[in-house]
Amino acid sequence: MKYLQAAQLLLAVLAPVRAAFTWQNVKIGGGGGFVPGIVFHPKTKGVAYARTDIGGLYRLNADDSWTAVTDSIATDSGWNKWGIDAVALDPNDANKVYAAVGMYTNSWDPNNGAIIRSPDKGATWSTTTLSFKVGGNMPGRGMGERLAVDPQNSKILYFGARSGNGLWKSTDSGATWTKVSSFTATGTYIPDASDSNGYNSDKIGLTWVTFDSTSGLVNGATSRIFVGTADNTTASVYVTNDAGATWAPVAGQPVKYFPHKGKLQPAQKCLYITYADGAGPYDGTLGAVYQYNITAGTWTDITPVSGSDLYFGFGGLGVDMLKPGTLVVASLNSWWPDAQLFRSTDSGATWSKIWEWANYPAQNLYYTISTSKAPWIDPFINADTKHLGWMIEALEIDPFDSNHWLYGTGLTLFGGHDLTNWDAKKNVTIQVLADGIEEMSVQELRSAPSGTELLVAVGDDNGFTFKSADSLNTAPSTYWQNPTYASSSSVDYAGNKPANVVRVGNDASGSVQQIGVSTDGGATWNIDYAAPATGGPYGGQVAYCADGDTVIWSSSAGGVLRSQFQSTFTAVSSLPSGAVIAADKRSNAYIYGASGGSFYVSKDTGATFAKAGTLGAATSVRDIAAHPTTAGEVWVSTDIGIFRSTDSGATFTQATSEITDVQQIALGLGSGTNWVVYAFGTGPAGNKLYASSDLGATWTDIQGSQGFGAISSCKLAGSANKAGQVYVGTNGRGVFYASGVVAGGSGSSITSKALSSTTSKATSTVSSVKTTSSASSVGTTSKTLSTSTKPASTSKTSTAPTTTNTAVAKHYEQCGGIGFTGPATCVSPYTCQKQNDYYSQCL
């Protein structure tokens, strides 16, 4: 008995600790990107899905929240499966869901597309790879749905392809597919034939497939099917009446615009179609709405507005299945003053608007909008006049509840539960209903020891601050404002003074200086007026010296720059343009850099760099992680493995060659003496996230079955404050975190305390694409505009004062700091606010 107990105890001590990492999202909340499609199940209440362009598919829950269902298939090689170009439900089996997946039809995506199918609401998937590409993040991705299941025969599906690939059919519930040779239209519209990267020069193709569930059967299949195509020269809507044996353009159709949505109202035997003169999602200056009466074979123009009131196309189309003749349609893009939504209860004979001009420019709003589930959206949509959204392609009325509706925008997903209040009360309650949809394209992550737990730089929505580990499940109340950039590419904190944070904007045409600084850990910010203004450098990576007195900026295309005490940025010629950089987190003078396979060190706060220790035969340094609390300890990820230096980069030893082709690397607080090293790379379990708690001697796969998309676009931070916690930023599925204990590492050599740092090098093709092709770039454009209407002025950097002591400093001028001899008072109403020991500013 005693022996047994001892043996058990021994076992408990020696058994390898299995790293059990369960991943969940950090809650930014509210989507943060384009939601191009929503589908409700026609026969089972409460079943609905929303698709995104780069962040996968989500299933609706009863409490209005959403659950991601395609994470397991978005592995490193399967990253393109987060591009969902269409979703379809089986009308006769509410558990079955299908999607057409693939992200780009041009060279950015090397993989062909696929049809995925799930028998259990997305819990598990089977995949059939197609012989061509699918473009979930291509132009026209809000048209649809391109994929549909025969409502009278669950084995039959149709898929309308892009790129001239035509119409495809499956007769075995999506397992195999063959081209429909009798369907010859291909949807020939090309947005911009001259686009050399292929993004806008591909054929948009077929746009939707709609079965007429009221039509009879031919050989066990629904006989009448409509197909929309992107064609404004011959015909765009085709029909078969013999279950696909023969097809013809529907007679009498309008040919001017592209059909975005084609929806059947079965009780009326009518097809409703929204049209726009662009493929979407950003365009559209004209359009129309039509009703096609299938019984009579007649087309009726039911466009809600005309003349000068018609300056947009139409996208979203909600058809109320419980009230035949009740419809809601949306402007695809009405950039000013706001989107417009129209509702009809008489099949489009008359319409009412969700807002109208009162005494111009005043508006009468027949809605209220609230953002309680994603508070940061409130300042975002109040930054200009657009509250209702843009890029409205998806708009659905719950087939079982005329009050419940949802619509997707370039920013989020809105909806509500009192839609019928539109009619009598003229007051609809709209809310952000994207809870659970985490769509951010993450550009960099940082966790500061004894400082901010998580700083998240993102594309399209600038960035977010999570003060402590307890705040990770609370959607932030604001995005990073003042300065507001459409996108941020990098963020860093000062190791010895972690309340000091710096970030860089990624607006090529930004009209505001592209560096922002914070002295309260990223809660509030100020523009760094030392940075070049309009037309200057932007993007890239930023590093803050340990004492927070020097900013080093490896910009996207403008070389490496440096600013001390917020004085003018000057070029650093001794470090190659585009270098990866990191600041030592304890030694203020030391800055690290790398370019190609060469490692550089600066011992003078980045003024000059010189080549330092060699990294074996490495030809590409991907990332540098300075130890969060130990001066001189640096970890470097390369194409051939991971290297470590404990002498500030003078010499390196290879920590491992077990993980190769290493991408981002980060250190996080461990539960033992060592900091845990996290790295994305190729290891024994494939291309995944690995962790080591013994300084790189042994590695554990901590990713498990969680998909993060392409590991080359993943960002990484170890928690500096919570032992064993690690953060992963994805390109389109937000930030994940997990914690656990990684085996190994007892009694190792290094002791430390406190935080992580990585340097990122973003800019994989994948992530660079996102900000141009998805989401809210447009909305943020407008935000940037409104920001720029603020001072931009002549203001001031921290360069020596031109005024004397008796003067007062003007708005934005320096008013204090070590060595500063100028005026310490500010002109009213501004006050002198300390930015750091060396710089105070009138704000």
Ligand X SMILES: *[C@@H]1O[C@H](CO)[C@@H](O)[C@H](O)[C@H]1NC(C)=O
Q: What is the footprint of ligand X within residues 546-565 (CB under 6 A)?
A: none
For residue 115, what are the β-bridge partners? 100, 128
CA end-to-end span of the chain? 74
What number of H helices and E strands is found in the chain?
4, 63
Q: How far is the CB of 270 from ligand X (least distance, A)?
A: 5
Size of the site for ligand X (CB under 6 A): 13
Nearer to ligand X, 196 or 295 (CB): 295
| Residue 118 CB coordination number (10 Å) | 21
322 binds ligand X (CB under 6 A): no
Residues in contact with ligand X, shown as a per-residue x/- string from 466 to 495 under the rule CB under 6 A: ------------------------------
Q: How far is the CB of 769 from ligand X (least distance, A)?
A: 23
Q: Which of 129, 293, 698, 752 binds ligand X (CB under 6 A)?
A: 293
Closest CA to 515 of 559, 552, 467, 464: 552
Nearer to ligand X, 247 or 366 (CB): 366
User: Which residue's structure tokens are 């943060």?
Assistant: 32
Q: Which stretch, 102-110, 199-207, 270-278, 692-700, contacts ligand X (CB under 6 A)?
A: 270-278
Q: Which of 201, 241, 429, 568 binds ligand X (CB under 6 A)?
A: 429
In angstroms, rounded to a whole number, what is the distance separating the alpha carbons of residues 656 and 813? 50
Q: How far is the CB of 339 from ligand X (least distance, A)?
A: 19
Q: What is the footprint of ligand X within residues 335-364 (CB under 6 A)?
A: 347
Nearer to ligand X, 355 or 820 (CB): 355
Nearer to ligand X, 295 or 806 (CB): 295
278 binds ligand X (CB under 6 A): yes
Q: Checking phi first, is residue 648 left (phi over 0); if not, alpha (psi -120 to 50) or beta?
A: left
Q: How far is the CB of 367 from ligand X (least distance, A)?
A: 8
Q: Which of 8, 219, 234, 368 binds ligand X (CB under 6 A)?
A: 368
Closest CA to 522 of 560, 481, 471, 557: 481
The residue annotated as part of the active site, out of 338, 460, 528, 694, is: 460
> Cα 526 from chain centroid?
25
Nearer to ligand X, 116 or 321 (CB): 321
93 binds ligand X (CB under 6 A): no
SS3 track for 242-290: CCCCCCEECCCCCCCCEEEEEEEECCCCEEEEEEECCCCCCCCCCEEEE
Name 368's Cβ contacts closer than 8 Å, sequence gap at least 6: 427, 428, 429, 430
Q: Which of 178, 295, 359, 802 binds ligand X (CB under 6 A)?
A: 295
Contacts 24+ apart (CB under 8 A), 531-536: 531/563, 531/569, 532/558, 532/569, 533/792, 534/509, 534/510, 535/509
Q: Which of 67, 129, 201, 232 binds ligand X (CB under 6 A)?
A: 232
User: Which residue's structure tokens are 């001072």?
Assistant: 791
Q: How far is the CB of 365 from ligand X (least distance, A)?
A: 7
Q: Which stretch, 203-211, 290-298, 454-462, 800-808, contacts ligand X (CB under 6 A)?
A: 290-298
What are the structure tokens assigned to 443, written together? 């550009």
Residue type at position 349: A
Q: How far is the CB of 427 from ligand X (least distance, A)?
A: 4
Nearer to ligand X, 132 or 355 (CB): 355
259 binds ligand X (CB under 6 A): no
Q: Residue 297, class by beta-carbon neighbours within 10 Å (0-12 exposed, 13-18 middle, 19+ buried)?
A: exposed
The residue annotated as part of the active site, out of 53, 320, 507, 694, is: 53
User: Which residue's structure tokens are 């609706």?
Assistant: 60
Nearer to ligand X, 128 or 241 (CB): 241
- Asked about 53 being catalytic, the answer comes back as yes
Q: Which of 245, 296, 349, 800 binds ligand X (CB under 6 A)?
A: 296
Nearer to ligand X, 258 or 553 (CB): 258
Name 9's Cβ contacts closer than 8 Å, sequence gap at least 6: none
Dmax (CA) for the chain in angstroms is: 94
253 binds ligand X (CB under 6 A): no
- Which phi and psi angles does 466 have, rounded to 5°? -115, 110
Nearer to ligand X, 268 or 577 (CB): 268
Q: How far is the CB of 230 from ligand X (least distance, A)?
A: 9
Q: How far is the CB of 286 from ligand X (least distance, A)?
A: 8
Nearer to ligand X, 313 or 668 (CB): 313
In angstroms, rounded to a whole number, what is the distance separating the alpha carbons of residues 67 and 59? 5
- Asked about 460 being catalytic, the answer comes back as yes
- C-alpha torsion angle, residues 606, 609, 615, 618 (rounded to 10): 90
Reading across the β-sheet that carries 413-416, which strands appear in turn? 367-370, 428-432, 413-416, 405-408, 395-397
371 binds ligand X (CB under 6 A): no
What count of Cα atoms within 13 Å lies in the side-chain half-sphere of residue 747?
A: 0
251 binds ligand X (CB under 6 A): no
> Which residue has its beta carbon closest to ligand X?
296
Q: What is the footprint of ligand X within residues 813-842 (CB under 6 A)?
A: none
107 binds ligand X (CB under 6 A): no
Q: How far is the CB of 268 from ligand X (least distance, A)?
A: 4
Q: What b/e string do you get for 670-706 counting C-beta neighbours within 10 Å, with b at 16 or more? A: bebebbbbbbbbbbeeebbbbbbbbbbebbbebbbeb
Nearer to ligand X, 204 or 560 (CB): 204
Q: How far is the CB of 114 from ligand X (least distance, A)?
A: 30
In angstroms, rounded to a whole number, what is the distance separating the alpha carbons of residues 196 and 217? 46
Q: Which stretch, 86-94, 289-297, 484-492, 785-793, contacts ligand X (CB under 6 A)?
A: 289-297
For residue 408, what are the β-bridge partners? 413
In angstroms, rounded to a whole number, what is the distance separating the alpha carbons of residues 128 and 40? 24
Q: How far is the CB of 620 from ligand X (least distance, A)?
A: 43
Q: How far is the CB of 193 from ligand X (least distance, A)?
A: 11
Nearer to ligand X, 205 or 744 (CB): 205
Residue type at position 599: F
Nearer to ligand X, 201 or 429 (CB): 429
Q: Which stretch, 67-75, 291-299, 582-590, 604-612, contacts ligand X (CB under 6 A)?
A: 291-299
What are the structure tokens assigned to 224, written together? 């009448």
SS3 track for 56-117: CEEEECCCCCEEECCCCCCCCCCHHHHCEEEEEEECCEEEEEEEEECCCCCCCCCCCCEEEE
Contact 714, 708 (CB under 8 A): yes
Q: Which stretch, 292-300, 306-314, 537-545, 569-577, contacts ligand X (CB under 6 A)?
A: 292-300
188 binds ligand X (CB under 6 A): no
Q: Which stretch, 107-115, 288-296, 499-507, 597-605, contacts ligand X (CB under 6 A)?
A: 288-296
Contact 65, 76 (CB under 8 A): no
427 binds ligand X (CB under 6 A): yes
5 binds ligand X (CB under 6 A): no
Q: How far is the CB of 232 from ligand X (least distance, A)?
A: 4
Enumerate the active-site residues: 53, 460
Question: Given the rule CB under 6 A, which residues bind ligand X?
Answer: 232-233, 268, 270, 277-278, 293, 295-296, 347, 368, 427, 429
